[in-house]
Chain A
């Protein structure tokens, strides 16, 4: 018996269905392409990791946990840049987006951000009991409402919509950076960010609105990538984008509630 015949006899299935080209194609395509179900599973995994590390940092407060949380936030931030890239006005892409990094960076991002969220939440809860449950609930309520509006076609993200949201997000980012630089020199943050006046609350409401509308863009990325048969790693990319926006939305809702409760 020649080697080829032996391979045919022992190494391959005799089942005509499994041996058919159609089955082979189906298997390879399902292995390679993204699906909505896969993106949902990856989002669940990321949420689980974030909640786990947030619980650890919530329960074990101290200098060591503060250091771990700071490192976690930094690592999460670097993971985000390695995947989403870094764009700056008039300069363009400083770091280009690399979605194929997402399967490696997404779990690191979830773990890192979980540590810092745990510490922020614990501190907020110590000042205002019950605020974390309210913030988490409102985050999911807002996300679900927008998902429903997106899936039914009530909100239709277009090119202009994306540019508007992108510009607003960059504006908020620059305001935070300016406030940080201002605080380094004067020791005070912008009152519109940290205060509890009417303007400050209005600013927070606008930021929550922009963060929520960013979710629509994430839903569109996931939907379109799955539709076009994007590679499997796009499931992680979509999940990471969604988690990043959910985390941002949660922090902004928490800040808004804290401002309202401190009045």
Chain B
């Protein structure tokens, strides 16, 4: 194994750890507080929440009628 491969391998391991570590943090206000952001919810319809089966089940359970 060449020194270049070894060096790049080391950089790769460090980068991978740093990548997953940084991904957990919120972006700076410089990134989030600006008016020209892409409005992703107009392209990706993620507000269409499908009815949750468990929720319906839970509501049925709680609608217990006292005789």
Contacts and interface: CB of A to CB of B under 8 A. Distances in A.
B60 interface: no
A147 B15 CA distance: 11
Given A40-B24, A144-B18, A237 B44 contact: yes
| Binding site secondary structure of chain B | loop
A132 to B, nearest CB: 9
A231 B49 CA distance: 7
Given A130-B2, A151-B22, A220 B28 contact: no
Contact of B66 (A3, A223, A227): A3
Q: Which of B16, B38, B47 has the most CB of A within 10 A?
A: B38
Nearest to A155: B31
Interface string A215-229: 001011111111110
A13 interface: no
A133 interface: yes
B57 interface: no
Interface of B: 1-2, 4-5, 8-9, 11-13, 15-16, 18-20, 22-28, 30-32, 34, 36-38, 40-41, 43-50, 52, 64, 66-67
A230 B31 contact: no
A256 to B, nearest CB: 14
A153 B5 contact: no
